[in-house]
Amino acid sequence: MATKLQTGLGERLISSDVEAKPFAELPIIDMTRLSSSSLEDRQALALEAAIESGFFYISNHGIPQSILDEAFAQGKQFFAQPMEKKMKVDLHKGTSFKGYAPLMGEAVDPASRGDVHESFDMGSDSQTFHEGSKKKEGVISGNLWPSEEDLPGFRPALEATWDRIMALGKQLFPLFALALNLEENYFDDKLTNPGSVMRILHYPPQTDPIDMSAIGIGSHTDYEMFTLLVQHGDVSALQVLNSAGDWVQATPIPGTIVVNIADQLQRWTNGVFKSTIHRAINRTGKDRMSLPFFFGVDYDVLIEVLPSCITEDRPAKYEPIKAGEWVEQRLKETYIKVDPITGVKV
């Protein structure tokens, strides 16, 4: 039986089947292939990653496992704190959508009661608009950090991880440009201060029977250009919607990072690249942690359908919008103010 899901990019038809299926077809892209001297080889890699799947693993990404392990260790300490300490950096204290969100504190699927995870979000403390752009409150505001007295290693560990994943993400833009028959440096001037967000998430285990209106994270697409997701350990919870409308499992593979296309790229390419619907249901009986990095372009960049993606039979489907306006709009739809103890909306 199929149901309809309302996303920021319109309505999608999905299967209501809870059981995931193996996703052996999810490709693993070796990042060393990006340095090939052959343009044809790099273009083939781009097509495999961006158009043929839209959801893939990358290996040989160059980020030391020790840096990722330390980020998760610090995240575990943060989430183990008493609620009153975590709520000192409640994201609702600011306008930046940065800081802590408790269980049920967001709902990426409008049909859900809330998502069964807690999170800490951070961005660049130096986020600014280009000269001449109007500065305003909202998604460009700074971070909320726990005190060094409580967690002395937390901020350094997350900032080190941020720097590494930011550098990795920038390496993927030439790949997407090639897939669109653009110059490899097409996105360079749109990445002077990328509008990106990194989260660390904790999903408590859920056991049968599952209330589908309250799962780890509901069915959704991501808001920026693409997402790089580090899955911690062997806890398998991420599920991806395939072209047949069935949920399939994206099992953690050691030494890899998951990449998926997100909304801004779908808008820019008029749907040539698909912003992939996914969700997380933790049925393992174990705690799960993950670290997604939502990579966007500068917030004042206009996301407008590329002329090369418009034809007589395929007119532009999306109105132009500033990248920051799009992200802010989606975030305002996502976050819910809840009582941190009861999870009830307030």
For residues 152 and 86, give the distance between their C-alpha atoms in angstroms, rounded to a whole number.
15
Q: What would the mean pLDDT of 3-21 be, rounded to a whole number?
A: 41
Q: What would the mean pLDDT of 112-116 be, rounded to a whole number?
A: 62
By percentage, how much of the chain surpasses pLDDT 90? 44
Q: Residue 257 pairs with which residues in a beta bridge?
A: 58
Q: Residue 7 pairs with which residues in a beta bridge?
A: 10
What is the predicted pLDDT for the residue at 214?
A: 52
Q: For residue 157, which of 293, 66, 290 has the smallest C-alpha distance? A: 66
Residue 262, sorted as left (phi over 0), alpha (psi -120 to 50) or beta, turns out to be beta
For residues 144 and 125, give the distance between their C-alpha atoms in angstroms, rounded to a whole number.
10
CB distance 212 to 280 below 8 Å: no
* Maximum CA extent, the chain: 61
pLDDT digits (tens, 9 = 90+) for 116-146: 789 999 998 765 433 333 444 455 557 999 9
What is the predicted pLDDT for the residue at 18?
A: 36
For residues 323 and 163, give the distance between their C-alpha atoms in angstroms, rounded to a whole number.
21
CA torsion through residues 297, 303, 307, 311, sign:
positive
pLDDT digits (tens, 9 = 90+) for 39-50: 888 877 777 767
Residue 156 tokens, joined = 């350094």
**11: helix, coil or strand?**
strand
Averaged pLDDT of the chain:
81
Angle between helices 39-46 and 154-179 (to 10 degrees): 110
Picking from 40-54, 186-200, 303-317, which range would have the lowest pLDDT averaged per residue?
40-54
Element (H, E) at 53: none
Query: What are the phi and psi torsion angles at 228 (to 5°)?
Result: -110, 120
- Write the DSSP assignment of 117-172 as a string of letters: -EEEEE--TT--PPTTSPP-SSTT-------TTT-TTHHHHHHHHHHHHHHHHHHH
83 CB-near residues (< 8 Å, 6+ apart): 102, 340, 341
Q: For residue 279, which of 158, 111, 121 has the smallest C-alpha distance? A: 111
Give all domains of the chain, ordered by start, each with its CATH number.
25-132+142-334 (2.60.120.330)
pLDDT at 19 over 50: no
What is the predicted pLDDT for the residue at 96?
A: 74
Task: Describe the chain by its helix, strand, coil percentages, rounded to 5.
Answer: 25, 25, 50
Q: What would the mean pLDDT of 217-236 be, rounded to a whole number?
A: 89
Q: For residue 28, which of 58, 5, 66 has the smallest C-alpha distance? A: 58
pLDDT at 81 over 90: yes
117 CB-near residues (< 8 Å, 6+ apart): 103, 201, 202, 203, 204, 216, 217, 280
Residue 232 Cα distances to 75, 149, 229, 272, angstroms: 11, 26, 10, 31
What is the predicted pLDDT for the residue at 131?
A: 39
Q: What would the mean pLDDT of 218-234 be, rounded to a whole number?
A: 91
What is the predicted pLDDT for the residue at 108?
A: 54
What is the predicted pLDDT for the residue at 135?
A: 47
Residue 305 tokens, joined = 């359908």
